[in-house]
Structure 1
Amino acid sequence: MLELLYSFRRVNLTFYQIFWKHADALETTWIQYLVLHTLREHPDIGLSELADLILMGNSATSGVVNRLVKAGLVERRRLQTDRRSIALRITEKGDELRQQTEQVSMGCLLPLLQIKQEDRSHLLATHQQIIQIFSQKGERESNYE
């Protein structure tokens, strides 16, 4: 079983190394790209919702958002419907960086097309099974606390 987890880690590290090598010129990180992409798909969301969508904690997400706001890539706005709530939105400059970074990331992922579609689908289905098994295990454990 340990080799399965080790394999996940190696794939993850390999992707990040390739991404960093190509995205370094853009002065962005994978997480920053993920935030920009998510805000493009879900404009005017709050920090907690963003954190949920990118699978990070609120504190870590807040730090990333703060850096993106300082760089002029994301803006905070008060919602007209609820003046107490702050919504996040990607700026035009942020969207330009997102597009450039997306081209880099797609270039990094293109070699994966060498894997047959059937094998990629099977891999994704297996990952979904693993997530479901761990989710059920977590639910059972939380019921005993």
Structure 2
Amino acid sequence: MGLGGVQNFASVAVVRFLLGVFEAGLFPGLMTFWYRTEERSIRVVLILALATLAGAFGGAIAFGVGHMNQVGGLSAWRWLFILEGIPSVLSSLLVLFFLPDYPETAKWLSESEKQLAVDRLRVDGSHGQSVHLTWTEAKATLCD
């Protein structure tokens, strides 16, 4: 949605950079905290396939939004970013408040289901009860 409000190249670069920063943790976060290593590839395939399907619908939406040129004084391309961003922003609020970070902190799982999730992911998955990452460890990871 931020791209709908940019006014120059510098602001486009900043908004795109921030988008990349915020999206960077998507796959690692989705995959490592909920699935075992051998289960991750099919989940990635599903996400990418659904993203392709979303692109097909995006083209149809873009066609319709293309007719909104100068509505409210905004170009159609600005409306496209704004209107396609609204569902993402709204769903992000749902995710923030309702999707737990780790299976073991999910309120909608029973204690036995939480324990099963922890046991399944013990070797190469979630470590929700682990010590938090230090800045030194984060720097070492980013520089590797």
Structures share a fold, TM > 0.5?
no
TM interval, shorter chain, is under 0.3
- TM (norm. structure 1) is 0.27
Larger gyration radius, structure 1 or structure 2: 2
